[in-house]
Structure formats: C-alpha cells, structure tokens
Amino acid sequence: MYHLYNDIKMIVLYTRVSTLEQNPDRQLTNSKDYDYTLTDYCSGSIPLYERPKGSEVKKMIDSGTLKKLVIHDVTRIGRNTLDVLSIWTDLTHRGIVIECKNPTLRNINEDGTVDKFSELMLSILSTMSQFEKSLIRERQMEGIKIRKEKGLYGGRRIGTTDTTERFLKKKKSQDILNYLNKGTYSYDEISKILSVSTTTVTKVKKMSQMVKESSNNV
C-alpha cells in the first residue's frame, strides 16, 4: 500500500477487467516500470472513483502524490465518452500525466506542454459526447412516445376502465364534460373558463369516448 503523505510523485499502472474475464495479464506488460499496479475486477459501468482501486487513484490525485497514470486503453477508466473526457481533462488541468497504451496517447509531453494530438482527441471526444447525449435523448423521447401511444406513460395504463372512471369522476373532469356536452364551446374556451390546459380538455374528451365505446362493446 502506498503512503499518501510522502513527497514522492508516483507512476501508477491502472487496469480493469470484468468479473467474467478475471485475467488482467494483457494490460500488465512491463508492470515493473511502475511504482504501483492497481487492478479492479468489476464492470466498466461503475465510475472509476467508485471502484475499490479506482478510489485509491482518486486519493493519490487529491493528495498530490500521483505523477502519471498509465492505462491500457481509455475504456478502462470511463463508462462512456463523457466520463473519459471528464477524467482526461481533470488530470490535464492538475498537471498529472495520463498515458494510454492502445492507441498511444498522452495528455502532457515530457517538456510539460499539452500534447497537440491530445487536444485534438479531446475535441473529438467532446463532439462524440454531445452526439451520445443526443442519441440518448432521442431514444428517451422515442420511448416516451411509444409508452404514451400504449397508454403506459407515467407508470399507469390510462386506458384501463378503472383508472379512466376514477379520472372522469373528478369534479374538474365533470365540469369539462358538462361544457363539452353542450356542444357550443371550443376546447380553448373551455380551457379559459375552467383554468385548465387544452391538453386536459382533450384527455377528458378522449377518455369519455373510450368509456362509451367500451360500454357499446359489452
């Protein structure tokens, strides 16, 4: 175990293998060249600093004892592009070298200057991160749309008779139905009169029709 309070700047090789692999040998080439070799046996879905050995890396960073962090590839330290980008940028700002073996990358050159190729990589990672977030958001919206179409959004199937009947029995729903049944008021007018959204008016109308259709089919 390293000592957190000494003045020695250490070079650490960090590896991670999934619990299914159980063999970090591929990442341990020339491990004698490092002051410490830390290996986590866990899923890559766990954030680096929440892993047993990853948390030790974090302590070394915070204590100022880490000089260089060496990894086999960037997937060892991040769950996704945003994670990798965040860790890479943070270490660069702290003046800590992070060196990747595959592909060969490092954030800071031997003369202390920021590596230009590293800057390009960060730019690419940043763009990829935004793309990932856009894809995630798009998938979420698609999922919401599908759930709404099936009447499942919000955790309840709004098309069930029991839920529909309870909703239509509410005073606000009854007031809306009274105006709808008169047939002389538009959705916008009902919305303004009762201080409800047109979406609510539409929902009441739709549910009322569902109940009628259900009754006719019995």
Q: How many secondary structure helices (H) and strands (E) does the chain include? A: 7, 5
Residue with tokens 């709004």: 158
DSSP state at residue 66: E
Type and span of the H or E element at 136: helix 116-149
Nearest to 4 by CA among 39, 49, 36, 30: 36
Instruction: In whole angstroms, give the CA distance from residue 106 to residue 90.
Output: 14
Catalytic residues: 18
Name the token pair of 36: 């410490």
- The pairing of beta strand 105-106 with beta strand 97-100: antiparallel
